[in-house]
A and B are shown apart, each in its own frame.
Chain A
Amino acid sequence: MRISCPCCGTRDRREFTYYGAADYLSRPAPDAAASAWDDYLHLRDNPAGETRDLWYHDPCGSWLVVTRDTVSHAVLGAEGLT
């Protein structure tokens, strides 16, 4: 598996650390209802197929949103978080 870092180009999977689903980008407001926090922290669509998740590129320190296929492991794209 190879992932395209917008900063460094296509690099080996060993250089990247997985964090979790892109759900982590939609953090609720601090005073949001407990159910919103439960949703954010725990509940996942967990698709068998195309998914978006967060990876960290260790050498350059970029956070990436990677679009992948969870069944074939194909990496369909990656965009940097600004």
Chain B
Amino acid sequence: MRYSGFRVFAQGLRGNRGWRPAWRKPAPKAAYDVVIIGGGHGLATAWYLAKNHGITNVAVLEKGYLGSGNIGRNTTIVRANYFLNGNSEFYSHSLKLWEGLERELNYNVMHSQRGLINLFHSDGQRDAFARRGNAMLAQGDDAVLLDREDVRRMLPYLDFEQPRFPIFGGLYHPRGGTARHDAVAWGYARGADQRGVDLIENCEVTGIDVENGRVTGVQTTRGAIRASKVAMVAAGRSGQVAAMAGMRLPIESHVLQAFVTEGLKPVIDHVISFGMGHFYISQSDKGGLVFGGDLDFYASYAARGNLPMVEHVMEAGMTLMPMIGRAKVLRSWGGIMDMSPDGSPIIDRTHIEGLFLNCGWNYGGFKAVPASGWALAHLIATEQPHETATRFRLDRFATGHLLDEEGTGSQHNLH
């Protein structure tokens, strides 16, 4: 069923009784060409396998229902403001895909390019941000260096005179913004399903079959499934999935908390990032202020955090914009982050033939979804890395070709 404004209107006249489920609920077949473990980035991977490479005999295995994992645990920010070669071209590609995504999927993912502003608070930081902005421009993306008065015109409600971190200016990325997180998953799921991909929900993988160095299929809670190509796309649980194939990954899982307030009238028009205070905020289309901070900093799979970081995030928010102090927090949650030792992801083959790995998304998996699926689909179909993702190698930690965007060194929780 194609979605359109006319269909919404016509259905409205008929009591909305004509809508159909957006995807099938097929039982798993005995064999597929490609099995994808994980219904997050895996949905995008399946879509691009079908659309770009014509490979549709594909199953996406999701252990819960679609959207039950980290899909529903992010803060929905889309941006392409990376500095290093290797990251820069990848996120640039991703943002371009975002810009055509709704038309491509015939699905409203509520992509809103409201602009992102990263604040800086010293001369040294201004130099670093100017350099980052130049790198973004060199990559073909957009960046504007704002001085203090520019920021004051755009964000008059910030506390510019705070003694610890007075605001010197900001790096403005106008094409940055937000999107509706679960709509992205639903859009990819519907698109992949329409092209023949089987989305198998409530199907947890319990084993990966390997014979003579070659993957032959997976064992699941819904039976064995044979496949000559298997992709592990289970960020948040990458370590457990890879362990089934006898692999030990350069990943430590951490909890990152986020918060949303009650709905308010429009008050924050952009995405604002206050890096020195570990705080960032945007306002959802429903009106809630969506904000978050830094990791709790200890390894965790709990999908919820502890109060000290809650307190820290609230303090940082109050420091930056005292006006939000009377908004009531509705919910908080924690996402499980695959933290890699250099803060960058992994999209690569493994030592087992036919077994592919996509993991290590740190805090940045949401904006990467289109390019991640695109690059992994390319890798699965052609056995060659896509040109935008050549440096996300699994062996880069052993060879020293790190992509340490923040320059904080080989400690998993510092990125």
Binding site for B on A (CB under 8 A): 1, 12-14, 17-21, 34-35, 38-39, 41-48, 51, 53, 55, 68, 70-73
Q: Which residues of chain B are within 8 angstroms of A12 by Cβ–Cβ distance?
A: 308
Whether B398 contacts A38 by the Cβ 8 Å rule is yes
For window 240-265 of chain B, which residues contact chain A by CB distance below 8 Å? 240, 243, 248-253
Assuming A13-B306, A71-B301, is B398 touching A46 (CB within 8 A)?
A: no
Q: Is B270's beta carbon under 8 Å from chain A? A: no
Q: Name B240's contact: one of A48, A51, A68 (CB within 8 Å).
A: A48
Q: Which residues of chain B are within 8 angstroms of A51 by Cβ–Cβ distance?
A: 299
A73 to B309, CA, bound (A): 15
Q: Which residues of chain B are within 8 angstroms of A43 by Cβ–Cβ distance?
A: 248-250
Q: Name A73's contact: one of B300, B397, B412 (CB within 8 Å).
A: B300
Binding site for A on B (CB under 8 A): 237, 239-240, 243, 248-253, 297-302, 306, 308, 341, 397-398, 410-413
Whether B413 contacts A20 by the Cβ 8 Å rule is yes
Would you mind naming 18 contact pairs between A and B with Cβ atoms under 8 Å apart?
Answer: A1-B306, A20-B411, A20-B412, A38-B397, A41-B397, A42-B250, A42-B341, A44-B239, A45-B248, A46-B299, A47-B239, A53-B299, A55-B298, A68-B298, A70-B253, A71-B301, A72-B302, A73-B302
| Secondary structure type dominating chain A contacts | mixed
How many residue pairs at the A-B interface have CB separations less than 8 Å? 71
Whether A21 contacts B252 by the Cβ 8 Å rule is yes
Shortest C-beta distance, B35 to chain A (Å), equals: 22
Whether B249 contacts A46 by the Cβ 8 Å rule is yes
Q: Which residues of chain A are within 8 angstroms of B308 by Cβ–Cβ distance?
A: 12-14
Q: Which residues of chain B are within 8 angstroms of A1 by Cβ–Cβ distance?
A: 306
Of A46, A47, A53, most buried by chain B (CB within 10 Å of CB) is A46
A48 to B300, CA, bound (A): 8
Q: A44-B248, A46-B252, A71-B302 are in contact. List 9 more A-B contacts (CB 8 A).
A: A1-B306, A14-B308, A18-B297, A18-B413, A20-B413, A43-B249, A45-B248, A46-B251, A53-B298
A21 to B239, CA, bound (A): 14
Whether A48 contacts B301 by the Cβ 8 Å rule is yes
Q: Which residue of B is nearest A72, CB measured? A: B302
A38 to B398, CA, bound (A): 5
Q: Which residues of chain A are within 8 angstroms of B237 by Cβ–Cβ distance?
A: 48
A33 to B208, CA, bound (A): 30
Assuming A41-B341, A53-B298, A70-B300, is B306 touching A46 (CB within 8 A)?
A: no
Assuming A35-B398, A38-B398, is B301 touching A45 (CB within 8 A)?
A: no
Whether B410 contacts A70 by the Cβ 8 Å rule is no
Q: Which residues of chain A are within 8 angstroms of B250 by Cβ–Cβ distance?
A: 42-44
A53 to B299, CA, bound (A): 9
Q: Which residue of A is nearest B237, CB measured? A: A48
Whether A46 contacts B239 by the Cβ 8 Å rule is yes
A70 to B300, CA, bound (A): 5
Q: Which residue of A is nearest B295, CB measured? A: A18
Shortest C-beta distance, A48 to chain B (Å), equals: 4
Q: Which residue of A is nearest B400, CB measured? A: A34
Shortest C-beta distance, B298 to chain A (Å), equals: 4
A46 to B398, CA, bound (A): 18
Q: Which residue of B is nearest A19, CB measured? A: B411
A48 to B241, CA, bound (A): 11
A34 to B400, CA, bound (A): 10
A1 to B243, CA, bound (A): 29
Q: Which residues of chain B are within 8 angstroms of A13 by Cβ–Cβ distance?
A: 306, 308
Q: Which residues of chain B are within 8 angstroms of A53 by Cβ–Cβ distance?
A: 298-299
Whether A42 contacts B397 by the Cβ 8 Å rule is yes
Q: Which residues of chain A are within 8 angstroms of B299 by Cβ–Cβ distance?
A: 18, 21, 46, 51, 53, 70
A33 to B253, CA, bound (A): 27
Q: Which residues of chain B are within 8 angstroms of A18 by Cβ–Cβ distance?
A: 297-299, 413
Shortest C-beta distance, B348 to chain A (Å), equals: 14
Whether B300 contacts A42 by the Cβ 8 Å rule is no
6 closest A-B pairs (Cβ-Cβ)?
A: A46-B239, A42-B250, A18-B298, A38-B398, A42-B397, A48-B301
Q: Which residue of A is nearest B412, CB measured? A: A20
Q: Which residue of B is nearest A66, CB measured? A: B298
A38 to B397, CA, bound (A): 7
Shortest C-beta distance, B379 to chain A (Å), equals: 22
Q: Which residue of A is nearest B238, CB measured? A: A46
Q: Which residues of chain A are within 8 angstroms of B243 by Cβ–Cβ distance?
A: 45
Q: Which residue of A is nearest B240, CB measured? A: A48
Whether A44 contacts B252 by the Cβ 8 Å rule is yes
Shortest C-beta distance, A58 to chain B (Å), equals: 13
Shortest C-beta distance, A20 to chain B (Å), equals: 6
